[in-house]
Chain A
Amino acid sequence: MLGLGIAKGLAVTLNHFRKTYFGSGPSKGRGLFTVQYPEERLAPLARFRGSLAHLADPETGGPRCTACRICERTCPVGCISGIEGEGRGRERRATQYLYNIGECLFCGLCVEACPFEAIAMSHEYELATYSHDALVYDLRKLAEIGKKYALEGKEEA
């Protein structure tokens, strides 16, 4: 029958139109779906992989990282570089650590490889900058992100 299928389709779209005004129910499937981004934000899920972060040593407050360079070797794209450390043996701690977020894949292999659980993929996702130079994070910035991340208490799901 000519037009019946079209009418069915029209009913579906009209129903969606109606639901955006008068929809109810708890499910996300009803009504408007857009998130009004700067005003509304979705919280990242616990395992979300954002920018790399350095976690703090609970005793000293300094970085946990021992500058062992395993993460640097594991990274497929080589976005981690310039790792320097001071001290010997157990006392050794990183003093510099460069992380180029412009090259990062956000694969998380570095975090998996880290034997000291010194780094983590944080929930930072607003990473745009105005210059290429600002894409390279140093240890201080990474530790800052780490602090924020730890405060949110989302270290492990």
Chain B
Amino acid sequence: MAALNDLFLNLQRWFVGLLARFLPDWLVMVISMLVVSVMLIVTALVIVLWLTWLERKIVGRIQDRYGANRAGFLPFGLLQPIADAVKFLTKEDIVPREADKVVHLLAPVLMLGASVMLLAVVPFGKGMIGADIDIGILYLVAMSSLSAIGLLMAGWGSNNKYSLLGGMRAVAMLLSYEIPMGLSIVVAVMLSKSLSMQRIVEAQGGWFGLRWFAFFFPVGTLAFLTYFVSALAEVNRSPFDIPEADSEIVAGYFIEYSGIKFGLFFFAEYVNAIVVSSVATTLFLGGWQGPILPPYVWFFLKVFALLFVMMWFRGTLPRLRIDQLMGLAWKVLVPVGLANVMLTGLGIAIFRALGWA
């Protein structure tokens, strides 16, 4: 059991030990970091590929359909993502004549870069983290804001009215939702007394691994809900997929993108979806903590549960309007978040005064 729990850690130790026999220390470090980051990116992309497949299957089932089930020789259409990827790569790469070419081409790269960089601080399991920096949360918030710039670049650089509308909507929305998101993160930080992702998870360790902050009623629960709602907006998922809004502004900021550039946006969106689910898991659902099963299994179970909820929402809900969305952020989530932070602080003070914590 213990071997299974630390499977990936042991693998890493064995690999590092192997290299250390005939390489200097600094090179071992560089190589192991490179290997970890390549593994992270590849794993993320592979997960994303089959996440699109999973979404199609789940939404299909919600709509009484089978979903993709034809591509390739594997059952259940398991090769559909490969077919999609090949299609992305072989499609013609079109740059509009009037587009601002540098900005237009840079935007998808920036988007994917920003979202992949987030993976560095996600704790996938006990000790399984790219970089356990002390201010992991801060890094995360800072990096996720980068995508707003990517969206604006895409919207502006394509020189299309629809994409401009989409880009503007995206920026307005992302900036507004950073605030309630930050406020709910603050609650988790206050409860765990740390900015490091690993330590936040460790703080949720008691009660057979079920001492999750989401169960800290009311503050933790509320913070979890506000976080999840803001996260949906942050990654443009339904019902907040306003910047794309295919029925209004026809995919918004990426209307002019074709082929692999569109593919990069697509990947970035799903990587973002995985990241926010992972962060929600880390902050409020106890990360990799849980009874019996190995930590990384717990982590992925929770992440996929959240992803399922996202897909379920997408299969059910219509889209809000941009002004209603901003209203929700500023009139509901921000006040609730602020009150929640104050309540948490008050609670901690009272607990401390009573000597319970």
Contacts and interface: CB of A to CB of B under 8 A. Distances in A.
The answer on A and B forming one complex is yes
A14 B312 contact: yes
A95 B316 CA distance: 60
Contacts of A6: 316-317
Nearest to B315: A13
Nearest to A9: B316
* Main SS at interface, chain B: helix
B98 interface: no
A33 B317 CA distance: 21
A70 interface: no
Given A6-B317, A10-B312, A10-B316, A17 B66 contact: no
A33 B312 contact: no
A15 to B, nearest CB: 10
B137 to A, nearest CB: 28
Q: Which of B312, B316, B317 has the most CB of A within 10 A?
A: B316
A16 interface: yes
A13 B318 CA distance: 13
B63 interface: yes
Interface string B308-331: 000011011100000000000000
B62 interface: yes
B58 interface: yes
Contacts of A17: 58, 61-62, 312, 315
A20 B61 contact: yes
B62 to A, nearest CB: 5
A14 to B, nearest CB: 7
Interface in A7-33: 9-10, 12-14, 16-17, 19-21, 31-33
B92 interface: no
A36 B58 contact: no
Interface residues of B, number: 12
Contacts of A16: 61-64
A32 B65 contact: yes
B63 to A, nearest CB: 7
Interface of A: 6, 9-10, 12-14, 16-17, 19-21, 31-34, 36
Nearest to A11: B316
Interface of B: 58, 61-66, 312-313, 315-317
A112 B107 CA distance: 64
A44 to B, nearest CB: 23
Given A6-B317, A21-B61, A13 B66 contact: no
8 contacts: A6-B316, A10-B312, A13-B315, A16-B63, A17-B312, A20-B61, A34-B66, A36-B66
Contact of B64 (A10, A14, A31): A31
A33 B62 CA distance: 11
A9 B312 CA distance: 11
Nearest to A21: B61
Contacts of B58: 17
A152 to B, nearest CB: 29
Nearest to A29: B64
B218 to A, nearest CB: 15
Contacts of A33: 64-65
Contacts of A10: 312-313, 316
Contacts of B317: 6, 9
A27 B175 CA distance: 50
B199 to A, nearest CB: 33
